[in-house]
Amino acid sequence: MNTANNTAMEFGICFKGFVQPARARHLVRQAEAAGFTYCWFYDSHILWRDSFMAIAMCMEHTTAMRFGPCVTNPNTRDWSVAASMFASLAHQSGGRFDIGLGRGDSAVRVMGQKPAPLARVAEFTHKVKAMVRGEEVMYGECAEPVQFTWATNYELPVWIAAYGPMALKCAGENGDGLVLQIAEPGICKWLGDQAIAAGKAAGRDMSNFRIMSAAPAMTGAMDDCIERTKWFPAMVGNHVADIVEKYGADTDQVPQSLTTYIEKRRGYDYSKHGQSDNPYLDFITEDIVREFAVLGDPNSHIGKLQALQKAGITQFNIYLDSGHEEKIIADYGETIIPAFS
């Protein structure tokens, strides 16, 4: 049984790097006032503008909201550069900084590079956390230990993104939280349980382990909601295809419901990563969009989010880039978030 924790549901928003600065400032102010406690940014430096510049800017226009990349990876930046940036953002925001961490998908594949091995993800987690605390750290080819004498002993929360069995094990053994890019309660529970079990088997106390469901949310007429968010299962399918390639479509390592829907998938265009004009959307059905995202009237959102919370989800992070952003934030602030207070 999933026993991550019994805290109230948190709510976040997530931007791609093409959001204009003035609009980002406006939306984070609106979201914080509405009760959202997190703001995340995609971290793909070639597809979109640098996420950390936008994070620093938005921090100055909020007072309590936490920020972070969703997700960064161990390969894009030198580890001491990354750790210095993380510690600096934590300091200047008064401790309002987390990171989401993955192997590297769109950020590295568009350069023709392969994602990082999970062992590197785990090592990055521990070495970067230690540098942010101010400890001496040896990593990579450094001939001398690295230490930030100005560090403030900040404990950096690291959420690790995962779908496959080994990535879930890595998240449970090394992370402070888990990022799941899907909002289907049964799948979320199955995946979350795997990470928690791995952490417990490694001797970790998992009572404060957090699990994020990251997915689009759209309020309004269902037909319009589906049309605006059908890009999302295609993005998820790209990750699932990697799992199927490694383990086969009939594997018991992931839920069958997560693998069967990609049978007719033809490919994926990383230049259109996470966008509605990606050319490879023809295999996506309306039922899959409904299952993977949170759509419809506010009461439908509340019902689905209650099911996600029961499945162990502790934060719902809205991919806020499908249109009607102000309305979505307003509906959540007026009706949906108060239902979880």
Q: What type of residue is 200?
A: K
Q: What residues pair up with 100 in beta bridges, in sequence order?
A: 159
Q: Which among 46, 3, 55, 11 has a CA at the least distance from the CA of 31?
A: 11
Q: Which among 92, 93, 89, 46 has a CA at the least distance from the CA of 69?
A: 89
pLDDT at 263: 63
Q: Any idea where the domains of the chain sit in the sequence?
A: 10-340
- How do residues 161-211 score in pLDDT, each as one tens digit? 999 999 999 999 999 999 999 999 999 999 999 999 999 999 999 999 999
- Are 80 and 146 a contacting pair, CB within 8 Å? yes
- Are 77 and 108 a contacting pair, CB within 8 Å? no
pLDDT at 3: 41
pLDDT at 274: 52
Q: Which among 293, 318, 238, 227 has a CA at the least distance from the CA of 270?
A: 238
Q: What angle do CA 242, 319, 286 make, to 5 degrees?
A: 70
In the chain, which stretches have pLDDT less than 70? Answer: 1-7, 238, 254, 257-258, 261-283
Q: Which among 254, 161, 264 has a CA at the least distance from the CA of 213?
A: 161
pLDDT at 4: 45
The DSSP string of 265-282 is -----GGGTT-TT-S--T
The pTM for the full model equals 0.92
Output the CA torsion 86→92→97→103 (10° steps): -20
For domain 10-340, give the CATH superfamily: Luciferase-like domain (3.20.20.30)
- How do residues 310-331 score in pLDDT, each as one tens digit? 999 999 999 998 999 999 999 9
